[in-house]
Amino acid sequence: MQINILAGGATSLWPSDLFDFPGLWIGADRGAWRLYQHHIPMLMAVGDFDSLTPDELHILESHLKTNEIIHVKAEKDETDTELALLYAQAQNPDSINIFGATGGRLDHLLSNLWLLADPTFEKIVEKTKIIDNVNSVSYLKPGLKTVSKIPSAKYLGFMPLNTVANFKIIDAKYPLALTDSVYKMWSSNEFVGNMVHVSFDTGVIMVTQTRDKV
């Protein structure tokens, strides 16, 4: 089972084929309203819905069954996207795609990118991607790992999200070998073929595949 989460980020950053992605949908805050506007059935809508007008919230609540909406207080520890991801994880999915999580406020972007470093999400680290129209972000747990090239992407990057030991980029255009953890975005690397292998002993690494906007 694949689950797609739509957060409330800018629609201009949506992939052009957003609603062609297979799977079940969860709307996070304004993402739920946008799913409603596009007539996309929802497994769940979750959030404080502070980005909706009272009329929009009333319409959304009228559209969904009671067990299909989780309305939380604005004063909470988790972000709306984090709540949606928690619910998605509870469904034991094969994969999770998050859309609408980039652009807009920088604190929201950083929060979304670092979600998978939380041990709470240990079971879905390698199942989860954050996707927009030029970027695909995935995550790796320790071991010898293979990263497959996305055809539309040119650049490859790696970012340790916590303490990562013995990190090696083995067969990319620019190899790398680090003994100690360095909190740095190793960006603008490139594939030589269709795969790149990396290895590390501890921590979580964020992988970005991206291209320039045209």
Query: Strand, coil or helix: what is 168?
Result: strand
| pLDDT number for residue 103 | 82
Q: Which helix (H) or strand (E) holds 2?
A: strand 2-6
Q: Which two tokens stand for residue 76?
A: 């909470």
> Do both 138 and 121 map to the same domain?
no
Taking residues 109-133, what's their average pLDDT?
95
Taking residues 141-158, what's their average pLDDT?
96
Identity of residue 110: L
Taking residues 125-129, what's their average pLDDT?
98
- Domain count for the chain, please give it: 2
- The per-residue pLDDT for range 55-87, each reduced to its tens digit, is 999 999 999 888 899 888 766 768 899 999 999
Q: Which two tokens stand for residue 107?
A: 């604190």
> Do both 118 and 141 map to the same domain?
no
Using the 3D structure, point to which of 80, 115, 133 is the last residue of a domain.
133
- The per-residue pLDDT for range 6-37, each reduced to its tens digit, is 999 999 999 999 999 999 999 999 999 999 99
Q: What does the DSSP assignment read for 185-204?
A: -EEEE--SSSEEEEEESSS-
Length of the chain, please?
214
Domain that holds residue 50: 1-133
Inter-axis angle of helices 30-37 and 54-63, nearest 10: 60
> Do both 127 and 139 map to the same domain?
no
Fill in the DSSP letter of residue 149: P
pLDDT beyond 90 at 210: yes
> Do both 86 and 151 map to the same domain?
no
CATH code of the domain in which 187 resides:
3.40.50.10240
> Do both 41 and 129 map to the same domain?
yes
